[in-house]
């Protein structure tokens, strides 16, 4: 298999605590992968390390077979676009202006956006269905729309790998599903490799192909999402009793029933 990202034996301590412990993983090119695990198990730290925002104490990360440390900052940003867990648009920034920020790896700050930059910004806004709101102020949009603007910024960046840290948190059910469907669409139509931290196991089951399960800074298991996310895993990793039910349309859902005693 062809890997977009590989990490080998990553370890990282922060504030004197081991946060990542000997993490080894591979992300298939063009796949959509969920990273799941309890609060504080190291999911965000893993994404930050894989995007070089944090430097591991040990281990290596490669992007398309090349060591991540050998990329310049701009070069790396042409390969990986990241949506962190916490993000807020500056006060008066419009949708188009925020999407345009995705073009930073291709621009110098004193040079205005080129026609090519603008073309990619418009395409990104079209992909998230926000062309009509291009001149609106981001902070005045609904939470769901704001997440789509951030996604447009990532798309305008034209990198082939997207990391998203809990993109559906704080969204209502409909907007959560909309965001997941958009990610699916982008994965399928544009062939982008997507790694997404999720807390909703059913979103992972429905919208991702691969899953990486973490606990206490370690990878508990990886594999096809449908094979990995089982009631047994819910018990072992989350301490939750869950049942796997088959829906009338053939899909499967995990229903949490209560805490494991
Ligand atoms: N800069 C830091 N200094 C010290 N400890 C940190 C730092 N960043 C994260 N941690 C700790 O590392 C652990 C893992 O944090 P991380 O944010 O990666 O977890 P997570 O799995 O993404 O959690 P959540 O699901 O709650 O977002 C936590 O205990 C956190 O407090």
| Pair (53, 115) in one structural domain | yes
Q: Is 100 in the pocket of ligand 1 (CB under 6 A)?
A: no
Q: Is 210 in the pocket of ligand 1 (CB under 6 A)?
A: no
| Pair (101, 68) in one structural domain | yes
The domain total for the chain is 2
What is the CA(1)–ligand 1 centre distance, in A?
Answer: 31
pLDDT of res. 124: 96
The tokens of 106 are what?
């291709």
What is the CA(19)–ligand 1 centre distance, in A?
Answer: 7
Residue 147's domain spans which residues?
3-229
Question: Of 69, 46, 17, nearest to 163 (Cα)?
Answer: 46
pLDDT of res. 86: 81
pLDDT tens per residue, range 196-209? 999 999 999 999 99
Using 50, 70 and 90 to split pLDDT, how confident is the model at 54?
A: very high
3-state secondary structure of 232: helix
Residue 17 has phi, psi (to 5 degrees) of: -115, 145
Q: Is 239 in the pocket of ligand 1 (CB under 6 A)?
A: no
Q: Are 63 and 5 in contact (CB under 8 A)?
A: yes
Mutating to test ligand 1, I would choose from 36, 37, 39, 41 the residue with most ligand atoms within 8 A of its C-beta, which is 41
Mutating to test ligand 1, I would choose from 16, 18, 19, 213 the residue with most ligand atoms within 8 A of its C-beta, which is 19
Q: Is 147 in the pocket of ligand 1 (CB under 6 A)?
A: no
| Pair (93, 117) in one structural domain | yes
Give the closest residue (by CA) to ligand 1 atom 16. Answer: 42
Report the atom number in ligand 1 closest to the C-alpha of 197: 22
| Pair (73, 132) in one structural domain | yes
| Pair (81, 97) in one structural domain | yes
Kindly state the DSSP code that residue 235 receives in the 8-state scheme: I
Q: What is the CATH number of the domain that holds 165?
A: 3.40.50.300
Task: Look at residue 245 and tell me whether its pLDDT is greater than 90.
Answer: yes
| Pair (138, 73) in one structural domain | yes
143-156 vs 115-127: helix crossing angle, rounded to 10: 140
**DSSP one-letter string for 25-47:** EEEETT-EEEEE-STTSSHHHHH
pLDDT tens per residue, range 121-165? 999 999 999 999 999 999 999 988 999 999 999 999 999 999 999
| Pair (133, 235) in one structural domain | no
| Pair (128, 247) in one structural domain | no
Q: Is 157 in the pocket of ligand 1 (CB under 6 A)?
A: no
Whole-number Å distance between alpha carbons of 156 and 121: 5
Residue range 214-241: average pLDDT? 97
Task: Look at residue 22 and tell me whether its pLDDT is greater than 80.
Answer: yes
pLDDT tens per residue, range 62-120? 999 999 999 999 999 999 999 998 888 888 999 999 999 999 888 876 678 889 999 99
| Pair (23, 55) in one structural domain | yes
| Pair (175, 246) in one structural domain | no
For 248, residues 6+ apart whose C-beta sits below 8 A from its C-beta are none
Q: Is 168 in the pocket of ligand 1 (CB under 6 A)?
A: no
Using 50, 70 and 90 to split pLDDT, how confident is the model at 240?
A: very high
**DSSP one-letter string for 76-127:** HHHHEEEE-SS----TT-BHHHHHHGGGGGG--TTSPPPHHHHHHHHHHHHH
| Pair (157, 95) in one structural domain | yes
| Pair (153, 220) in one structural domain | yes
Give the closest residue (by CA) to ligand 1 atom 29. Answer: 40
pLDDT tens per residue, range 10-20? 999 999 999 99
What is the CA(157)–ligand 1 centre distance, in A?
Answer: 27
């Amino acid at each position: 298999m062809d890997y977009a990202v590989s990490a080998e034996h990553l370890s990282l301590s922060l504030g004197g605590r081991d946060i990542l412990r000997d993490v080894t993983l591979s992300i298939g090119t063009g796949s959509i992968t969920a990273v799941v695990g309890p609060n504080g198990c190291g999911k965000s730290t893993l994404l930050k390390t894989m995007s070089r925002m944090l430097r591991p104490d040990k281990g290596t990360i490669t992007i398309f077979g090349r060591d991540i440390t050998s990329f310049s900052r701009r070069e790396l940003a042409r390969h990986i676009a990241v949506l962190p867990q916490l993000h807020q648009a500056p006060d008066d920034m419009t949708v188009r202006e925020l999407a345009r920020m995705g073009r930073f790896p291709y621009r110098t700050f004193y040079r205005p956006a080129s026609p090519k930059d603008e073309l990619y910004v418009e395409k990104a806004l079209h992909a998230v269905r926000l062309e009509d709101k291009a001149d609106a102020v981001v902070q005045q949009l609904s939470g769901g729309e704001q997440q789509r603007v951030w996604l447009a910024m990532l798309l305008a960046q034209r990198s082939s790998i997207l990391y998203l840290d809990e993109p559906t948190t704080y969204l209502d059910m409909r907007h959560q599903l909309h965001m997941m469907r958009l990610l699916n669409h982008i994965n399928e139509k544009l062939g982008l490799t997507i790694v997404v931290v999720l807390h909703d196991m059913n979103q992972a089951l429905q919208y991702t192909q691969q899953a990486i399960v973490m606990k206490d800074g370690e990878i508990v298991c990886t594999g096809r999402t449908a094979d990995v996310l089982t009631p047994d895993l819910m018990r072992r990793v989350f301490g939750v009793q869950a049942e796997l039910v088959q829906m009338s349309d053939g899909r499967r859902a995990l229903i949490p029933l209560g805490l494991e005693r």
